Amino acid sequence: MQSRTLRHATTLLLCHLPAFAFGAEDRAVAAAASIEQRLQALSAELDALRKDNEELRRHLGALESKADQPTAAPAAAPTALKLGGELRMRYENFASDNTAFVERNRFRGRLRVGATAAIASNFEAGLRLTTGVSEGEPTGNNFTWQDNASKKALAVDLAYLKWTTLKTSTDTLALTLGKMTSPFASSDLLFDSDYTPEGLAVQYSRNLGTTHVLRANTAAFVIDELSASRADAMLYARQLRWDAAWTPRTSTSFGIASLDLSHASKLTNSAVPDVHRGNTRTAAGELINDYRPWIVDASVTQLLRGIPVRLAADYLENPGADTANHAYYAGVFVGKAGARHTWELSYRYRVAESDAWYEELIDSDSGAFYAVAPPGGAVGYGGGTNVRGHIFAGNYAVTDHSLVGFTYFSMSLIEPSPAGSASHMGRLQVNALVKF
């Protein structure tokens, strides 16, 4: 019995042994595949960790290298401020061949102080204060020694923003907005040297080589803002110039400009400061003619034994008036007062007919005597238009920043008031000026 049972168990074991063997083999293969997959995943993670470690090492090395370098100085401030000014003292004498005029002597001064801020390499802001506000002259900055040493006021003479939008070795383009110096190269037939217009100006220049420069200037200036009218008086101007140096000793300059004073009839004596005389007006002070002149100027400069000698001339014509519509000057200038112990002398003959140009913009020092008030004007000495005569001047530089000099005007009215009356005026100015 026991033998039969043993044989039966043995038979069953031998029958099922292949199945057990095959099942174990499948499980072993599956386990090996799983282990291989895990090893591959671990290998990929290890590669990623190696890359991260290398990147961290490179970053750490860069930080250590930067730390070893000396610390750079902080960047310079973006704004550079330049201060400056000038002080001029003047003695004046007025004398006339008309017995109705009483010879006059006076002492005057002029102070200018200002600052220019270079906010960036291409942006500038400027401010200048000046004396002369009590006199109310757009073309004058002087204060008179009078009224028991009364205090002298200051006023805004310049307040502008300038943006140089283009600056290369050949081209420059700049825009100026505000109250500025005149952007036009011109004589005092157009603007008094103290006149600082208000508006927008665009200036362009192009270098043609190293010795020739072409310039184009244009501007729109506000002359008067009228609260009860859209017809504000404006001045529109444009100019072309060609400056050339032909040799180290010879140079020339040539320019042409046109101007247009809009709504001139609105510029009555009560609307703007009535300082000058000359224009044809109604009894109520309204301008009769239009003012849209064109002007050409030319000069040639020659060095003679190291001294510059310049011949210059301007010619202006105003198509807005039918008569008395021309102005011109011609002159010679010898030397140049700049550096210490340098000097200059000049002579000009100057004519400005009544309606050649707007009287309140032209040079204020060239004037003559009105024995009778013209329509819309006043009796006495008056600058502006309707004058002609001679101008003599000389300056000597005592130091690099100071000079003494004189100017003498010998002027008469082109159309005396009344006709045939004596109108000649001699005006002497003796100046001492210091710049700082």
pLDDT tens, residue by residue, 24-36: 455 555 656 666 6
Is pLDDT at 246 greater than 70 in this prediction? yes
Please write the tens of the pLDDT for every residue from 292-341: 999 999 999 999 999 999 999 999 999 999 999 999 999 999 999 999 99
- Give the integer Cα–Cα distance in Å for 414 and 190: 18
Q: Which helix (H) or strand (E) holds 18?
A: helix 2-68
Does residue 386 fall inside a structural domain? yes
> By three-state DSSP, how is residue 210 classified?
coil
Question: What pLDDT shows up at residue 54?
Answer: 75
Share of the chain above pLDDT 90, in %: 72
Q: What is the pTM of this model?
A: 0.80
Question: What pLDDT shows up at residue 135?
Answer: 54
Neighbouring residues of 96: CB distance < 8 A, sequence distance ≥ 6: 103, 369, 381, 422, 423, 424, 425, 426
Is pLDDT at 224 greater than 90 in this prediction? yes
Does residue 4 fall inside a structural domain? no
Q: How confident is the model at residue 140 (pLDDT cuts 50, 70, 90)?
A: confident
Is pLDDT at 410 greater than 80 in this prediction? yes
The DSSP-derived string for 126-189 is: EEEEEE-GGGT-TT---EES-TTT----EEEEEEEEEEEEEE-SSEEEEEEEEE----S---TT
Residues counted in the chain? 436
Neighbouring residues of 413: CB distance < 8 A, sequence distance ≥ 6: 368, 369, 370, 386, 387, 423
Does residue 215 fall inside a structural domain? yes
Range of the domain at 253: 88-435
- Give the integer Cα–Cα distance in Å for 396 and 198: 33
Work out how many domains the chain is built from and give that number: 1
Q: Compute the average pLDDT of residues 197-217.
A: 97
Q: Of 357, 360, 353, nearest to 376 (Cα)?
A: 360
Q: How confident is the model at residue 6 (pLDDT cuts 50, 70, 90)?
A: very low
Does residue 21 fall inside a structural domain? no
Does residue 6 fall inside a structural domain? no
Q: Of 83, 188, 73, 211, nearest to 139 (Cα)?
A: 188
Question: What pLDDT shows up at residue 5?
Answer: 47
Question: Are the beta carbons of 422 and 98 closer than 8 angstroms?
Answer: yes
Is pLDDT at 17 greater than 50 in this prediction? no
Does residue 285 fall inside a structural domain? yes
CATH number assigned to the domain comprising residue 275: 2.40.160.10
Q: Compute the average pLDDT of residues 191-200.
A: 96
Q: How confident is the model at residue 120 (pLDDT cuts 50, 70, 90)?
A: confident
Question: Are the beta carbons of 359 and 349 closer than 8 angstroms?
Answer: no
Burial letters for 121-153: b for 16+ Cβ neighbours within 10 Å, e otherwise?
A: eeebbbbbbbbbbeeebbbbbbbbeeeeeeebe
For residues 34, 38, 39 and 43, what is the CA-based torsion angle, rounded to 10 degrees? Answer: 150
Is pLDDT at 138 greater than 60 in this prediction? yes
Least confident of 7-11, 193-197, 235-239, 303-307: 7-11
Q: Compute the average pLDDT of residues 161-180.
A: 97
Does residue 28 fall inside a structural domain? no
